[in-house]
C-alpha cells in the first residue's frame, strides 16, 4: 500500500472511529457510558488506528515533515526586507580642520559641525541565493525526510494494530478463564446440592458432602482471580485503543468455539476474528521461511532504508560545503535630511526632498580552511551511515528470528489442535458417564470430581491453544510485514 492510500485509510479509520464512539454515547441521553456495547475486532482496530496516541504522534510527525519541506523551499526563494530609520541629532557632531583652510594661522584647528538635525532613511533590500550546495541538497533531503516519517507512521500503525489484536485476544482468554471458573462453580454447587439431598436420603455419607464443600471453597478464590484478570485485560485493551478507563464495552468472540483448522468463518461470534486472521493466510510448513520479502514489507526495515537514503543526502550536503556560495543583493533606499524641528506630517521643504539610490551586488564566497571541521563532519556522517547499516543487519536477523518463532508457534498450534479438541470431547463424555454412574449408584463422588477436573483442564487447554494460535498469528503478520488494514485488505467477496 502506497503512502497516499495509507493516509486515506487513516482518514477513513478516524471517521469510522468517531461514528462508533458517538453511537455508544448516543444510546444514553445523559451521555453515561453503557456496558452492553459489543465491540468487534475490526471496530477495535478502527478505534486504535484513529485514537492511539502513538499513531497521533506519527501523524503529527508527518505534518511536521510537510512544514520542513516548505522551509527547505524557502531557502530558494528571495528574501525581501524593508527598513526605516530616523535619527535626531540633539547636538551636531564636531570635527576639527586645520586653520589655514579658512585663512587662519598655520597649526591652529577650527571646529566645524557636519550633518543636519533630522535624518530619514528607508528602503528595501532583496537577497537571492544563486548557488549554494546545501540549499539544493536540502530540497531533496526534505522529501526523503518526509518519506522517513511516512514509513515510521506505517511501522507504528503495524505495531498498534498488532497490539490491539493481542490485547483483544487477551480479553477473550481472560473471559474464557472466568467462564470456565463460573462453570466449575456452578457444577460444584449443583453436585453439592444433589449430594446434600442424597445425604438426607441416606444414600451417601457426610464425607462426600464435605469433599464437595472443600472443593467449592478452593474454587471461589480462583473465581475472584479470574474476575480481576478480566478487568486487567480490559484496561490493557482500553490503553491500546486510547480510550478512558470509564469507557465500558464488551468484546465479541469465544475461544472455545473457534476452530483453527476450519477454513470457514465459523459461528457469527467469531466471524470478524476469522476474517482478520485470514487476511494474511498462513500455510502449515515445516521448511525454512523465505525471508526475501522482509525488506519490502517490514516497517522497521523500511524506516532504516529511508534513513540510509536520508543519511546519503546528509553526506552530500556536507560535501557541498566545499563549494562556493553565490548570491545577489539588490538595494533600493531613500534618504532625506532637514534642519531645525522635524517636519513629520507637512510637505517637505524645497531642499529636503528625499533622495533615492539603488545598488546591485554579486557576492561570491569560497571557504578555504575551517580547521578540518568539514572533513570531520563528512567522516562522522559516514560513520553514522555505517551504524544504520548495522542496525538494518541486526533488524533483519531479528526479523528472521521473529518469523521463525511465530511460525513454530503457529505450527505447534496446528499440530496440537486435533488432540486438544479430541481431549475436550473425550473429557466431556467421560464426565457425563461418571455423572450417570454416580446417579445410578455404580460410581463414586471421587470419579465425578476427577472427571470434572479433566473437563475443566481440557477446556482451559483448548482455549489457551486457540489464544496461543491467534497471538502467534498476529505476531507472524507483524514479523512478515503483512499486517491487516495496513499491508493487506479484506476480500470484497467476504
Supply the pLDDT for residue 114: 77
* Domain-embedded: residue 492: no
- What CATH number does the domain containing 417 carry? 1.20.1600.10
Helix H, strand E, coil C: the string for the chain is: CCHHHHHHHHHHHHHHHHHHHHHHHHCCCCCCCCCCCEECHHHHHHHHHHHCHHHHHHHHHHHHHHHHHHHHHHCCCCEEEEEEEEEECCCCCEEEEEHHHHCCCCCCEEEEECCCCEEEEEEEEEEEEEECHHHHHHHHHHHHHHHHHHHHHHHHHHHHHHHHHHHHHHHHHHHHHHHHHHHHHHHHHHHHHHHHHHHHCCCCCHHHHHHHHHHHHHHHHHHHHHHHHHHHHHHHHHHHHCCCCCCCCEECCCHHHCCCCCCCCCCHHHHHHHHHHCCCCCCCCCCCCCCCCHHHHCHHHHHHHHHHHHHHHHHHHHHHHHCCEEEEEEEEEEEEEECCCCCCCCCCCCCCCCEEEEEEEEEEECCCCCCCHHHHHHHHHHHHHHHHHHHHHHHHHHHHHHHHHHHHHHHHHHHHHHHHHHHHHHHHHHHHHHHHHHHCCCCCHHHHHHHHHHHHHHHHHHHHHHHHHHHHHHHHHHHHCCCECCCECCCCCC
| 395 shares a domain with 295 | yes
* CA dist., res. 186 & res. 229, Å (int): 20
* Domain-embedded: residue 295: yes
Supply the pLDDT for residue 358: 92
Angle, alpha carbons 439-441-442 (nearest 5°): 110
The C-alpha cell 525488506 sits at: 295
Supply the pLDDT for residue 193: 82
* CA dist., res. 449 & res. 215, Å (int): 9
Supply the pLDDT for residue 25: 44
What's the pTM? 0.74
| 100 shares a domain with 48 | no
* Domain-embedded: residue 487: no
Mean pLDDT by 10 residues, the chain (494 residues): 53 51 42 58 90 87 85 85 90 81 78 82 91 81 84 89 94 89 80 78 75 82 90 93 88 87 73 88 68 78 88 87 89 86 65 79 87 87 92 90 88 87 85 80 71 80 90 91 75 40
| 357 shares a domain with 249 | no
| 258 shares a domain with 338 | no
* Domain-embedded: residue 201: yes
| 210 shares a domain with 84 | no
| 83 shares a domain with 208 | no
| 329 shares a domain with 317 | no
* Domain-embedded: residue 493: no
* Domain-embedded: residue 10: yes
Supply the pLDDT for residue 85: 92
| 176 shares a domain with 120 | no
Task: Identify the domain boundary among 335, 365, 395.
Answer: 365
| 376 shares a domain with 355 | no
* Domain-embedded: residue 486: no
| 355 shares a domain with 237 | no
| Maximal CA-CA distance, the chain | 151
User: Taking a C-beta distance cutoff of 8 angstroms, is the pair 249, 38 a contact?
Assistant: yes
Q: Which of 76, 114, 110 is nearest to 93 (CA)?
A: 114
| 332 shares a domain with 218 | no
User: Taking a C-beta distance cutoff of 8 angstroms, is the pair 434, 447 a contact?
Assistant: yes
Distances (CA, A) of 485 to 55, 63, 413, 453: 14, 22, 25, 42
* Domain-embedded: residue 388: yes
User: Taking a C-beta distance cutoff of 8 angstroms, is the pair 122, 82 a contact?
Assistant: yes
Task: Identify the domain boundary among 304, 333, 365.
Answer: 365
The C-alpha cell 526475501 sits at: 292
> What residues have CB less than 8 Å from 486, skipping those under 6 apart?
1, 6, 9, 154, 157, 158, 161
Supply the pLDDT for residue 84: 92
Supply the pLDDT for residue 232: 94
* Count of the separate structural domains present in the chain: 2
Q: How many CA atoms lie within 13 A of 61 on its CB side?
A: 17
| 125 shares a domain with 14 | no
Whole domain around residue 346: which residue ranges? 79-131+325-365
Amino acid at each position: 500500500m502506497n503512502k497516499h492510500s495509507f493516509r486515506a485509510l487513516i482518514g477513513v479509520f478516524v471517521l469510522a472511529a468517531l461514528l462508533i464512539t458517538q453511537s455508544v454515547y448516543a444510546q444514553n441521553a445523559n451521555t453515561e457510558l453503557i456496558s452492553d456495547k459489543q465491540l468487534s475486532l475490526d471496530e477495535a482496530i478502527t478505534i486504535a488506528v484513529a485514537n492511539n496516541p502513538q499513531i497521533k504522534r506519527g501523524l503529527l510527525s508527518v505534518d511536521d515533515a510537510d512544514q520542513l519541506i516548505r522551509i527547505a523551499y524557502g531557502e530558494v526563494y528571495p528574501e525581501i526586507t524593508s527598513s526605516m530609520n530616523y535619527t535626531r541629532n540633539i547636538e551636531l557632531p564636531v570635527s576639527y580642520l586645520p586653520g589655514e583652510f579658512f585663512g587662519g594661522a598655520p597649526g591652529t584647528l577650527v571646529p566645524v559641525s557636519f550633518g543636519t538635525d533630522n535624518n530619514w532613511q528607508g528602503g528595501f533590500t532583496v537577497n537571492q541565493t544563486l548557488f549554494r550546495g546545501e540549499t539544493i541538497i536540502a530540497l531533496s533531503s526534505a522529501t526523503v525526510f518526509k518519506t522517513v516519517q511516512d514509513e515510521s507512521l506505517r511501522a507504528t500503525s503495524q505495531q498498534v494494530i498488532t497490539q490491539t489484536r493481542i490485547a483483544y485476544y487477551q480479553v477473550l482468554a481472560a473471559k474464557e478463564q472466568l467462564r470456565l471458573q463460573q462453570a466449575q462453580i456452578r457444577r460444584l454447587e449443583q453436585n453439592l446440592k444433589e449430594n446434600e439431598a442424597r445425604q438426607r436420603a441416606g444414600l451417601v455419607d457426610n464425607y462426600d458432602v464435605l469433599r464437595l464443600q472443600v472443593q467449592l471453597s478452593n474454587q471461589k478464590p480462583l473465581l475472584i482471580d479470574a474476575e480481576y484478570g478480566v478487568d486487567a485485560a480490559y484496561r490493557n485493551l482500553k490503553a491500546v485503543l486510547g480510550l478512558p478507563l470509564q469507557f465500558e464495552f464488551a468484546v465479541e468472540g469465544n475461544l472455545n468455539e473457534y476452530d483453527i483448522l476450519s477454513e470457514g468463518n465459523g459461528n457469527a461470534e467469531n466471524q470478524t476474528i476469522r476474517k482478520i486472521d485470514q487476511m494474511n493466510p498462513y500455510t502449515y510448513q515445516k521448511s525454512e521461511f523465505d525471508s526475501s520479502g522482509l525488506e519490502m514489507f517490514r516497517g522497521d526495515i523500511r524506516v532504516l532504508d529511508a534513513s540510509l537514503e536520508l543519511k546519503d543526502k546528509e553526506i552530500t550536503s556536507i560535501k557541498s560545503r566545499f563549494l562556493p556560495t553565490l548570491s545577489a543583493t539588490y538595494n533600493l533606499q531613500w534618504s532625506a535630511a532637514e534642519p531645525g524641528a522635524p517636519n513629520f506630517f507637512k510637505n517637505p521643504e524645497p531642499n529636503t526632498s528625499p533622495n533615492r539610490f539603488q545598488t546591485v551586488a554579486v557576492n561570491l564566497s569560497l571557504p578555504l580552511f575551517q580547521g578540518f571541521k568539514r572533513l570531520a563532519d563528512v567522516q562522522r556522517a559516514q560513520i553514522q551511515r555505517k551504524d544504520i547499516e548495522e542496525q538494518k543487519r541486526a533488524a533483519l536477523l531479528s526479523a528472521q528470528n521473529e518469523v521463525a518463532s511465530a511460525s513454530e508457534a503457529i505450527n505447534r498450534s496446528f499440530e496440537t489442535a486435533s488432540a486438544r479438541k479430541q481431549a475436550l470431547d473425550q473429557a466431556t463424555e467421560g464426565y457425563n458417564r461418571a455423572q450417570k454412574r454416580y446417579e445410578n449408584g455404580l460410581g463414586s463422588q471421587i470419579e465425578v470430581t476427577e472427571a470434572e477436573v479433566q473437563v475443566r483442564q481440557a477446556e482451559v487447554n483448548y482455549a489457551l491453544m486457540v489464544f496461543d494460535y491467534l497471538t502467534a498469528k498476529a505476531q507472524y503478520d507483524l514479523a512478515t510485514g503483512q499486517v491487516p488494514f495496513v499491508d493487506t485488505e479484506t476480500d470484497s467477496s467476504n
